[in-house]
């Protein structure tokens, strides 16, 4: 009987710690609607294998067939909005138990964004936020949760015009003390950028650049962590 009640408590703990997906983008503060311009994964489970092509744009994310592409100008502010389920209210946006960094990458498509698979060294990191306060152990995820699931990035004005994939990533590290353990939540949106410049930013491959042994991927965050380095290298500021 005691075992049964412990098991049911465990089941409740797991069930209440639900996963999440990126469901909305906002363009200069204007909500584009649920799942518009977004490659939608089949469910809210995380990716845990950093060598899988699911790391690029989540499960079934190698094609954007049937997905619309947003039209924006370089320098636009893009907001990503994540939720556990198909609802914006009534629960934590991303469930407070998820602790870790929030990052955004961008990759230029050779032609149209919808047919771009995002493979190879094509990704440039344009945003990263991690352990914000070692004293309080406040993470970027805490801010996203407090902001109703939202975080924003400005598309660097120096990027060349063209079609791109924007890849938002939240890495949950609550069970990351061994690999695989870290949970990668990934949402990709398709954008057509006009204006822009002629910058040629540094690029990495996803999968490719992340290793299971990276200190930002295999880490015990419950040992008074004083600093944190997210995987994928430095942010390119444009």
User: Which of 19, 88 has the CB closer to Cu ion?
Assistant: 19
Q: Which residue is nearest to Cu ion (CB)?
A: 19
Buried b (16+ CB within 10 A) or exposed e, 139-156: bbbbebbeeebbbebebb
Residue 128 and residue 104: Cα distance in Å, rounded?
7
CB distance 126 to 204 below 8 Å: no
How far apart are CB 140 and Cu ion at their closest, in Å?
16
Interface with Cu ion (CB under 5 A): 19
User: Which of 50, 78 has the CB closer to Cu ion?
Assistant: 50
Residue 216 and residue 109: Cα distance in Å, rounded?
28
Residue 8 and residue 158: Cα distance in Å, rounded?
54
User: Which of 97, 207 has the CB closer to Cu ion?
Assistant: 97
Residue 157 and residue 159: Cα distance in Å, rounded?
6
How far apart are CB 44 and Cu ion at their closest, in Å?
8
User: Which of 78, 172 has the CB closer to Cu ion?
Assistant: 172
How far apart are CB 86 and Cu ion at their closest, in Å?
16
How far apart are CB 21 and Cu ion at their closest, in Å?
11
SS3 3: helix
User: Which of 45, 158 has the CB closer to Cu ion?
Assistant: 45
SS3 133: strand
How far apart are CB 92 and Cu ion at their closest, in Å?
11
């Amino acid at each position: 009987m005691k075992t049964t009640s412990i098991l049911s408590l465990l089941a409740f703990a797991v069930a209440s710690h639900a996963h999440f997906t990126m469901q909305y983008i906002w363009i200069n503060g204007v909500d584009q609607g649920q799942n518009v311009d977004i490659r939608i994964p089949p469910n809210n489970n995380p990716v845990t294998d950093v060598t899988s092509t699911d790391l690029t744009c989540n499960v079934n994310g190698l094609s954007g067939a049937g997905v619309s592409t947003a039209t924006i100008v370089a320098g636009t502010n893009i907001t990503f909005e994540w939720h556990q389920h198909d609802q914006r209210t009534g629960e934590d946006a991303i469930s407070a138990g998820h602790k870790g960094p929030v990052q955004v990458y961008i990759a230029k498509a050779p032609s149209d964004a919808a047919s771009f698979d995002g493979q190879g060294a094509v990704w440039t990191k344009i945003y990263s936020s991690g352990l914000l306060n070692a004293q309080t152990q406040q993470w970027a995820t805490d801010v996203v949760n407090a902001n109703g699931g939202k975080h924003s990035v400005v598309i660097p004005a120096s990027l060349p015009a063209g079609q791109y994939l924007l890849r938002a990533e939240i890495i949950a590290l609550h069970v990351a003390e061994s690999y695989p353990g870290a949970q990668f939540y990934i949402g990709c949106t398709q954008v057509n950028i006009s204006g822009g410049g002629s910058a040629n930013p540094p690029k990495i491959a996803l999968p490719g650049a992340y290793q299971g042994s990276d200190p930002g991927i295999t880490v015990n965050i419950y040992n008074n962590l004083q600093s944190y380095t997210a995987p994928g290298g430095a942010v390119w500021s444009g």
